């Protein structure tokens, strides 16, 4: 894994307690997710036959959530400034018998910004709601408090900005 990271082919998103900035100061180096440099490489590693992928009904794909996360992580990494190490984080609740997880967490406008990634319409945002309640002091009081990315349209509700995947660059493009 270290060699893949050094070559820039894989990146770790470390678990952070997200109790303020910088997020790196609160990581658990034993807990991480791995993202590939490229979504095509990720498909190849998972041995997904791309020719069949486009012919199958998309709802039958068991890994569509992981593919959506890979896409978003890859996009965020691509907007990282040159000569800056990419920084990806995620959060999960560390309480016993808790399944709450926020897919990615990053820094934006000197605040913590949780990012929820939805590969389909279904499901509520219980984990994101819990995160927003627990981490309110560390969120941006004047801007978006969270991003929800999916294949659906723009929207804003209760400080959560919903964006289609293709609009991610609105928040992460290097100026």
Is residue 54 very low, low, confident or very high in pLDDT (cuts 50, 70, 90)?
low
pLDDT, greater one: 62 or 92 = 92
Quick: pLDDT tens for 62-91: 667 888 899 999 998 888 877 777 788 999
Is residue 60's pLDDT more than 80? no
Q: In the prediction, which pLDDT does 8 show?
A: 84
Residue 97 has pLDDT above 90, yes or no: no
With 50 as the cut, is the pLDDT of residue 113 above it? yes
Buried b (16+ CB within 10 A) or exposed e, 41-77: ebbeeeeeeeeeeeeeeeeeeeeeebbbbbbbbbbbb
- What pLDDT score does 164 carry? 92
pLDDT value for 175: 39
Residue 11 lies in domain: 2-172
Closest to 72 (Cα-Cα) out of 122, 43, 35: 35
What percentage of the chain carries pLDDT values higher than 70? 87
Using CA atoms, how far apart are residues 141 and 159, in angstroms rounded to an integer?
9
Give the pLDDT confidence of 115-129 residue by residue, as tens digits: 999 987 655 688 999
Query: How is residue 39 annotated by DSSP?
Result: H
Contact by Cβ (8 Å): 76, 106: yes
Q: Is the pTM of this model over 0.85?
A: yes
Q: What is the mean pLDDT of the chain?
A: 85
- Averaged over 150-174, what is the pLDDT? 85
* Number of domains comprising the chain: 1
Distance CA 24, CA 28 (A): 9
pLDDT tens-digit map of 4-34: 888 888 899 999 999 999 999 999 999 999 9
Residues 6+ apart with CB under 8 A from 80: 86, 87, 174
């Amino acid at each position: 894994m270290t060699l893949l990271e050094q070559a820039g082919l894989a990146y770790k998103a470390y678990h952070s307690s997200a109790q303020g900035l910088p997020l790196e100061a609160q990581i658990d180096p034993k807990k991480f997710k791995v993202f590939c440099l490229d979504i095509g490489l990720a498909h190849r590693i998972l041995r997904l036959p791309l020719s069949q992928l486009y012919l199958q009904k998309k709802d039958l794909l068991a890994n569509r959530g992981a593919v959506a996360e890979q896409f978003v992580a890859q996009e965020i990494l691509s907007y990282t400034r040159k000569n800056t190490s990419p920084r990806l984080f995620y959060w999960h609740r560390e309480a016993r018998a808790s399944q709450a997880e926020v897919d990615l967490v990053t820094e934006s406008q000197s605040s913590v910004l949780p990012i929820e990634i939805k590969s389909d319409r279904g499901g509520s945002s219980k984990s994101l709601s819990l995160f927003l309640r627990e981490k309110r002091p560390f969120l941006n009081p004047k801007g978006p408090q969270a991003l929800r990315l999916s294949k659906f349209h723009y929207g804003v509700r209760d400080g959560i900005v919903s964006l289609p995947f293709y609009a991610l660059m609105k928040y992460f493009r290097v100026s």
